[in-house]
Structure 1
Amino acid sequence: MAPTDLLPDPSDALPPRRLLARGRAALGVGAVALALAAAGCGGDDEGGATTAAGGGATAAQTAATEPATAAGNGVEEQSADEILASAQEAARAATAVRVSGEMEDLRLDLSVVRGEGATGTMAQGGMEFELIVVGDEVFLKGSDAFYEQIAGRAAAALLSGKWLQVPKDDDDFGSIAEIADMEELLGQALDPDADRLTKGEVEEVDGQQAIGITADRGTLYVATEGEPLPVALVGDRTRPGRVTFSGWNEPVELTAPADAIDVAELQGSRR
């Protein structure tokens, strides 16, 4: 469906260049990475192609989705640096994860699938948007406040409740896709950038046994049962917040929304 089928006179109502220019600032695209790094120990639409991402296509993947046994994995006997290395290795082997919580002024709930995309919500500064990334396609659906910030009040009224497809290679919007990069997202959380890590005691965190390793600005909790995967990231007093890691290796459905407004087409209509 062409953009003109969704927006009356989109060339006048939605200035694409201004939308692109203001979008990155409003989104705070780098906020996820910055927030995680700061504390790190280191809709109703249907349609489009659907991917049951992170599913068990092989016997190994199927086994990975089964609940972990209560057997200890022994990381509590390791040094803090070794625990971090174990968590990094386990995370690199995972196919999917759900990252949720709040850090500084950022709130997110995002399920990410390695090499395939992501789906979830983010909010910052009173603005919220839904995000779906399926392969090379990036889609956003913002709150009214979000659309007003990036496009102005008149365009926001027309965009209300609608999905935007944004160019992945665009300088302003393209880096949104970085949020859906599991390697990039976890790398920020699991890269300490600290000279010394401190090992804590085993305790219950989010219903499972875990051990904390603390850097200058926060504590990463790593599971001591099953795979030594990250459980939670908790900021210190200077950067309060908490992000949890769950749904490791669980299937995630990634569905491209129907009738999304293609921002690249709107931009082309202005030329």
Structure 2
Amino acid sequence: MIPFPRTRNAALVGAVCTGLAAVLVGCGGAAEDPDAGTNGVGKLSAAKIESKSRKAVDGAEAVRLSGSLVTKGRTYKLDMRLKGGPKGGGTGQLSTKGSTFELLRVGDELYLKADADFWASQKGGEPSRSDSAAASKLDDKYVKVPSGDSAYKQLSGFTDMDLLLEGLLGLHGKRATGDRGTVGGVRTIRITGGEGAGGSLDVSLEGTPYPLRLQRAGGAGVLQLADWNKEFLLKAPDKDHIVDYGRQITTS
């Protein structure tokens, strides 16, 4: 066997070591900064993340809220687009106890749209022929909910962005930071209350630190928050599509 010259051996070993070092660095030898390219809130304490998220919500003008919500023993499924402020309102769909209907609020005016079966069931019991005939005239029409009706306060709450978010977004118990993840393709950091028993909030690590997902305490629902500040059309229906109901409205 003919030995290589010492100088050639040294050069070969050096080249191999240099290449190996490059491979090791490329495979994670150097730690990647998890906050690179983010808005920086991931470096903050849970309390400060929550504070910044709240501030972002207070400054927002619109949001889309979807998911499930449990309140007063009743489960609602909702998909609402909301605008804040005194001239705000909302539009979208709400379901509970087998009933599905649409809500629309423009300013103080609240409208409800549902199919004939929904209206026929409002009297309670098995609907008569006259009930069914009257309900058919309301099918897929907007019915204005009187402001004095007991349903007005209950239903309008689902269209009030400021009131709804104020009541929903609070966590309970000691705050802590949780896992990083994604919601709708957006990187997030989770903050929890009471080790998760007090609810959790996934806050965006990209752009404005809006809350993107809420899990309420006690299994009281999971909600997605999207389309922050995204403009959408909100106007009262045409008069030809509005019908006066003239009876008390319920959602039982």
TM-score when scaled to structure 1? 0.65
Q: Give the residue type in structure 1 aligned to 2:184.
A: D
**Structure showing greater relative contact order (alpha-carbon pairs closer than 8 Å, 6 or more residues apart):** 1
Aligned length: 194
User: Which has more radius of gyration?
Assistant: 2
CA distance in 1, matches of 2:175, 2:135: 47
What is the match of residue 93 of structure 1?
A: 59
**Counterpart mapping for 1:185-200 below 5 A:** 185-192=164-171, 194-200=172-178
Work out which of the residue numbers 77, 81, 87 in structure 2 matches 1:107: 77
CA contact (8 A) 1:168 1:175 kept: no
Superposition RMSD on alpha carbons, in Å?
Answer: 2.2
CA contact (8 A) 2:77 2:95 kept: yes
**Counterpart mapping for 1:60-209 below 5 A:** 71-104=37-70, 105-115=75-85, 116-151=88-123, 153=127, 154=131, 155-192=134-171, 194-209=172-187
What is the match of residue 39 of structure 1?
A: none
Work out which of the residue numbers 254, 257, 261 in structure 1 matches 2:237: 257
Gap regions ≥5 residues in structure 1: 1-69
Deviations 1:45-88 (A, max 9, x none): xxxxxxxxxxxxxxxxxxxxxxxxx9422111111121111111
Runs of 4+ in 1 over 4 A off after TM superposition: none
Task: Answer with 142-151 or 115-124: which moved more.
Answer: 142-151
Residue 181 of structure 1: how far off its partner (Å): 1.6
TM-score when scaled to structure 2? 0.70
Deviations 1:70-129 (A, max 9, x none): 942211111112111111110010000000122453211100001211010000111011
CA contact (8 A) 1:217 1:239 kept: no
Deviations 1:213-262 (A, max 9, x none): 122243210001100001111357x5274311111101111121223123
Gap regions ≥5 residues in structure 2: 1-35, 248-252
**Counterpart mapping for 1:15-54 below 5 A:** none
CA contact (8 A) 2:169 2:214 kept: no
Q: Give the residue type in structure 1 aligned to 2:203.
A: V
Q: Give the residue type in structure 2 aligned to 1:225.
A: E
CA contact (8 A) 2:41 2:209 kept: yes
CA distance in 2, matches of 1:188, 1:174: 15
